[in-house]
A and B are shown apart, each in its own frame.
Chain A
């Protein structure tokens, strides 16, 4: 057995040495300035016109989707929505730096990553209308997307639960010898959950090729980040757990792309986790159930509107001559129409038949669920008008 000495790497001091907060400097990677011009010293990632256009279009798409669905919720067409306005660069550019075989485990504000993977308007709408075409069979509230085909794990509302799961998923990828990593998105609020600490520590100790991507958007519903933690953000914790860590401007597409690309390389090459803290701002309300006027000022929001990630990236693309304004306007108008059309179609589609209520609880329904379904069907037949969505469907 190997002799071990757990003090081997610890130096000595002969005076009481108090390590104070802020002694470790964790700078934020920024490539593009808010006006879209690149910092002179910055090293630009390799992003060509085609990739840039896909990133821009995806960001514009999710913004239109968000606007449309917030309105649809206000109109009472869906029960709930959660927009990602202001955070598009964080999720879209990070997803762009991944490979399709990489697993995405998201929190709930990562529609940008999902859209980048190719989730269609129809798929978004089917989910939000909980209809029978929906991939999760209409079982969860709007925005709880999931797609096996796109390697996007179905979203769960409880916060932070996906973090240790990502460690486990990535460990499985490593053991299977796959050329793939797992990216795990979460907010700075969710990072207060015990699962964050458990997940990061396990990933570090068990050398899991996972990218932990924190969207530090300043708020957990109403709670500002200074009431969430007293340390230097989330990045400082990565260091504590022995996880390689990058802090990045989350409103800067090129910085997020560069950071995630490098994180993926490290995770694969060294078979280890990497933590990215993306500094951004939740310009949207937490959800359609929230009203931010109760906890933050319009002025504060306006200051962040000036750092709009879509505007910033588009300005950079324009400087490269990659934006045809007329074509882009056409894209926006066509997308708007396409989203609306998908919405109108999805809201007409019925929910799953009642038989589905007992499916997927287990691999096959046990006797007691079959009995409960039979009883329920008899009851629905007795009062068809009281259960209009499921009665009279054979």
Chain B
């Protein structure tokens, strides 16, 4: 897969009004997204993952670095992009209720991106009809206002609006965080169906790791504006090499009492302020494995092969602490058996048992 999006050494800092200091939101982020691929960007609030998304779609100006879309430079505000790239990269926000104009009918909202592309009205109507049906809503809904729709339906409309220009890349910024579990599952299924049909690439930004596990091909773990680990989603989830990834994963709670993504690594405290970045590795203050070196220098990226990259001096120790085990996949098999109404495999003795501590 040749990458369609390449982000190279991205930095972004926001000045704090009334002071000479900065919020250092992104601190050197490098990744790429292949055509038709989903890259999950996971991290906690304040990690800068949303800012990365906004920089890519040209809503936020970057402080340094380079973003290329199919080889063309787009590291500038959207207004100054080459014309033929407009509509090729779209964004879906977390709160559909806020991204849709409450005084605009659904049909008008979906149509809007086409206006900027100067699509003639006759074509627009056909495209809108196609778009709303693609997201599983009926054409009658085009006449409604956002307030008359459920949150899940609103998010479908937001997706229809993003998809109407046939984008090759969609940045999905926490598209399901505001939704109930059943509505969330429907939206995820819809996104996967669209990807299968149209081959759209996704940058899926989320703090919900289990959803990321199911929707992504690759995953990048963000901490304080840095990608600390990235790689194939199955590999990272089964054998995380960065203590932060391991800690983050161990906090995921699967709906089965016998499966947990446990780790001997436990993170203490909370994410530090992005105003005063710590010296050395950003995780050092919370990391149980931190050594003196971690507090002095930033670990360089270490390539583990197969696109698996990690920023940690002690990633080999992380690997040896926990056995690699794809608990997610094992849980999934077991849960599918339960849901099919079949008997479980007897008294399960902690199939996900990976802990040695």
Specify whether A and B are partners: no
Q: Which residues of A contact B (CB under 8 A)?
A: none
